Structures are given as structure tokens and as C-alpha cells.
Amino acid sequence: MNKKITILMMALLLTGSLSGCLGNGDKGDDDETDTVPVYEPTPDPDSDHLVNANDYNVLYIGHSFGRVFAETLQDYAHTAGFTDHAQYIEMSGGASGAPDALWEDDGHRENIKAYLDTGQIDVLIMICCSVEFVETGAQSDEAIWNFTDYALDKNPDTRIGLSMLWKDFPGQYENASDYNNGSELLHDSWVRLASNLSGDYPGADIFTFNHGAVAYELWDMFEAGQLDDDLDQVTGPRATSIFTDEKGHAGLMMIDTGTLIWLHAVHGVEPLDMPEFTQWNTDIRVIADSLLDEEDQE
């Protein structure tokens, strides 16, 4: 296929799939009303004690489609035996939480730099998608390079994680198949971007993970009647739905399953090695394990 046509197709896919994330920079509209506590200390650029040097410090920068997993990750890591895991979050809603917007915003950029300036950030996680990533057909995202360059300058051992989200506004899709359509192409483009980043920083540990795949899998399973003992609807109450609102924020089952994907990405923990989640009749560890196997085979 002609390269220009490929780029155009990707741009159309990304613009349509992620219209909500790109179209709304208002922090309030992308926030959740019911979340677990946020591990978000106020950065002090003049402080040498922003993070504990003895901890395994993980910094997530992005919007709410990643924040709730970062929040939950700390407890999961501790349960898995990583008692030194410390989670930090710099969050901004919607498009304002994409890498390019965070880099361009003086306040967020300086807060993030304050964490990185300590030289003690072990993992920096960013989430899709900058406007540049969309408009170039997933060919480039300068802000990701900017943050990576800054992080590695302060600590060459910082691992760089790039997380792929799910499509927002699920109500716009007729069914699970329609919702899932094009998601693999989007993820593949994210992996290629990470590969390009690795090429520019050959000594760095750069990795991708696709917690967005959980949304597609849960809807597919729900539609097939496989989650009837746990979920009542696609969108509704947090405890019994895949999504909690029109925007597509994650319900509890998606949060629990998606955090297993995060835990594997950050600490290498296999989902089946975690204790069983007795609050669910469905073994979500099996779901997460299956999604990781599929990703490994791609």
C-alpha cells in the first residue's frame, strides 16, 4: 500500500477512535467522580526529598484512562511482594494529559521535571495519544522523545513505558466487534513508535503495554454471556459495568484486570501468580494472562 495512503488511513482511524481524548482539554470532564485515593504528592523543585531513594519509584504522567490503574498498581505491587514500590502521578484530563500537552504546559512540565530531577525515578510511564501522533498517522510524537531524553539525562537507568488506552465513547459503537475494529492497527502503530524510540536510545529499557485491550475483551465476553455472573451492562454502575459513563471510564472489573497488565509491565508478575480475586466469579487473572499471551504472539 502507498505510504501516504497508509498514513491517511491511520490518521482517520486515530481521529475517529480517540476523538474524545483529543477534543476535550478540560480536566474536569475527563475526571472520575469515584476513585481510590490518588498518590500524588505536590512536587517541590527545591526539595531533595521528593521521592525516597530506597523505593522503586514509578511515575505516571497522563490522563484518567491511565491514572486509575496507576493508583491501583501500588497496592497490587505490595501484594505481589514489591513492598518498596512507590507510585507518583501527574494527571491532567483528556487531551491535556497527552504527552504533547503535558510538555507544553509549564506547570505540568515543571512538576514532572521535579520528579525526574531527583534522579530516583525508576519507571516513567506515558500514555497515548498526542495530537502529533494522530496527525502524522502514528509516525512521530516529539513530546515522548522530549520526556525520554530528560528522564534518561537525569537517570540513565530509568525505564520508559508507553501505555495504550482503549477507545472512548463506547456508546458510539453498535457492538463489541464494531468497538474492537481497528484497535490492533492502533496498538501496532504504538509498538512501532516505541521501536523508533528504542533506536534513538539503544541503551534504554523501553517497553509498551496494552491495558486498553481489556476493554475490548470484556465487552466481547459480556456479549457472549460469559460475564453474566459479574456484570449487568456495558455502561452503568461502577461495580457491575464495563464502563461507568458516556466517556468510557473504567468500571471495577476493567480496573482490576487492567492493573494486572500494568503489574506485568512494571514488575514482570504473571497474572496467574497473583492471589485469586474472590470478588469476581470470573477469574480475571485468566483474562489478563490470555491478553498478554496474545500480545506476545503478535
- Give a yes or no: residue 73 inside a domain: yes
- Give a yes or no: residue 168 inside a domain: yes
- Give a yes or no: residue 274 inside a domain: no
- Give a yes or no: residue 295 inside a domain: no
- Give a yes or no: residue 229 inside a domain: no
Beta partners for residue 58, in sequence order = 87, 123
Task: Yes or no: say if 103 and 113 are a contact pair by the CB < 8 Å rule.
Answer: no
pLDDT tens by residue, 246-287: 999 999 999 999 999 999 999 999 999 999 999 999 999 999
Question: How many structural domains are present in the chain?
Answer: 1
Going by C-alpha positions, the residue among 65, 74, 72 that lies closest to residue 126 is 65
Model confidence band, residue 50 (pLDDT cutoffs 50, 70, 90) = confident
Q: 60 by DSSP, 3-state: which? A: strand
Instruction: Give percent above pLDDT 70 in the chain.
Output: 83
Q: pTM surpassing 0.75?
A: yes
- Give a yes or no: residue 149 inside a domain: yes
The answer, yes or no, to whether residue 180 has pLDDT greater than 80, is yes
The CATH number covering residue 93 comes to: 3.40.50
pLDDT at 49: 60
> If 0-12 CB within 10 Å is exposed, 13-18 middle and 19+ buried, where does residue 63 land?
buried
pLDDT at 137: 87
pLDDT at 272: 98
- Give a yes or no: residue 245 inside a domain: no
Question: Containing domain of residue 11, as a range?
Answer: 3-224
- Give a yes or no: residue 181 inside a domain: yes
